[in-house]
Structure 1
Amino acid sequence: MRNRIGILLGLLLYAQGAVAMEPAAALVPNAAMVGRGVLSYAFWDVYEARLYAPEGNWVSTKPHVLSITYFRTINGRDIADRSVQEMRKQGFTDEVKLAAWNTQLKAILPDVRDGTVLSAVRLPGMQTNFYHGTDAIGTIKGDEFGSLFFGIWLGEATSEPGLRRALLGLP
């Protein structure tokens, strides 16, 4: 029964424009889109990000999902390196942890191309689960990683405040 509900919710989210949200439906109760936005660099759109949370209300201490649909070809190692750079920009300075997370991300994140969907599910206080479409591709344990990783998009110190506002459904 629970699996049917998860599949049904996944189909409903898909009908609302989401892609590959079945993992989110299983891990985030009553997942609904909070907001979405496109990251552009110069004249190119790089990806569209979507934030999902219970009943569409994001609270950092509750499970939530960030789903990214890429429009460009990018090496997974480059995504990992950029993620760590963005964590550093938030003021995190523990280079030992950053190096460990970089190694983990490089082992998890695949190369992407136009249409690739990667999702991260944050379970606060526990871990962050990563998906390529509907396939689980890895987990990084610990709340500190999750907080900093999601802070890349949702933190006040983000390098993309317009995208943050769009994801959070703010004007």
Structure 2
Amino acid sequence: MNAPFAFAFPATFFVEAAGETSRCDDEVCFAKTVQIEGNEFKLVGTATYHFIFLDCYAAALYTRSGHASLESYRDTSQKILAVQYLRTISKDRIIDSSNETIDSHPDYDAANFSSELNQLYSLFHDVKDGDRAVLLFNFPSGVTLYFNSQRLGQFEGPEFTSAYAGVWLSPYSVGRRFTRSLLGAQ
């Protein structure tokens, strides 16, 4: 069983420029390794989510091993998803997109997680270019959400954690190419 982890910002996920210790995606640079609670997390991959012709956000996936697979959203390894928004997106659009993505997975139904999702969504607000979110996926303690360096909350439950990680990491994610890039495929 993995021990819960938390960290105080500023964690060094986001860096200012490309270099040997970083990787950039759409002008957003991510550190190749980060230290959290004495544990090193390695960058698996980066991706930019596009909607039609609009760049919405750049993201990076970190794991302890530096590796992940298409089934990673289900496994119990600790994972970190760091996101930097590239444009203004309404809270309602983020919520609708999350629910649609969870509902598209044949094993999950957003209605089964309505309590957890409602708690999570109550913390959401409109985002703007430059806003940053970090999601810590830790089994069995759940998902911890940070937004612009502030810890907003933790949401428990292994099935909920898998379903929410699946928004970005499952075969039924927000986008296949996006997920493949996050999982390290070039």
Same fold (TM over 0.5): yes
Residues 145-164 of structure 1 aligned to structure 2 (within 5 Å): 145-164=160-179
Query: Normalising by structure 2, what TM-score?
Result: 0.75
The alignment's C-alpha RMSD in Å is: 2.7
SS at match of 2:30: coil
Residue 50 of structure 2: which of 40, 54, 70 is its match?
A: 40
- Say if 2:30 is the partner of 1:18: yes
Cα offset, 1:13, TM superposition: 6.8
- Say if 2:85 is the partner of 1:85: no
- Say if 2:180 is the partner of 1:168: no
Name the CA shift for 1:42/1:120 in 2 (closer, same or farther; >3 Å): same
Contact 2:99 2:110 in 1 (8 A): no
Name the CA shift for 1:25/1:145 in 2 (closer, same or farther; >3 Å): farther
Contact 1:34 1:168 in 2 (8 A): yes
Deviation per CA, 1:96-138, whole angstroms, max 9, x where unpaired? Answer: x332233112212232100001111000222100001321011
Greater helix percent: which structure?
1
Contact 1:38 1:48 in 2 (8 A): yes
Contact 1:80 1:105 in 2 (8 A): no
Contact 1:13 1:32 in 2 (8 A): no
Query: Normalising by structure 1, what TM-score?
Result: 0.81
Deviation per CA, 1:50-92, whole angstroms, max 9, x where unpaired? Answer: 1011142235321110111111111224312321221111122
Q: What amino acid is aligned across from residue 74 of structure 1 in structure 2?
A: I
Contact 1:158 1:164 in 2 (8 A): yes
Q: What amino acid is aligned across from residue 87 of structure 2 in structure 1?
A: R
- How many residue pairs match? The answer is 161
Contact 1:28 1:53 in 2 (8 A): no
Q: What amino acid is aligned across from residue 146 of structure 2 in structure 1?
A: Y
Residue 143 of structure 1: which of 147, 158, 161 is its match?
A: 158
Structure 1: state its 5+ residue gaps. Answer: 1-5
Residue 30 of structure 1: which of 40, 43, 65 is its match?
A: 40
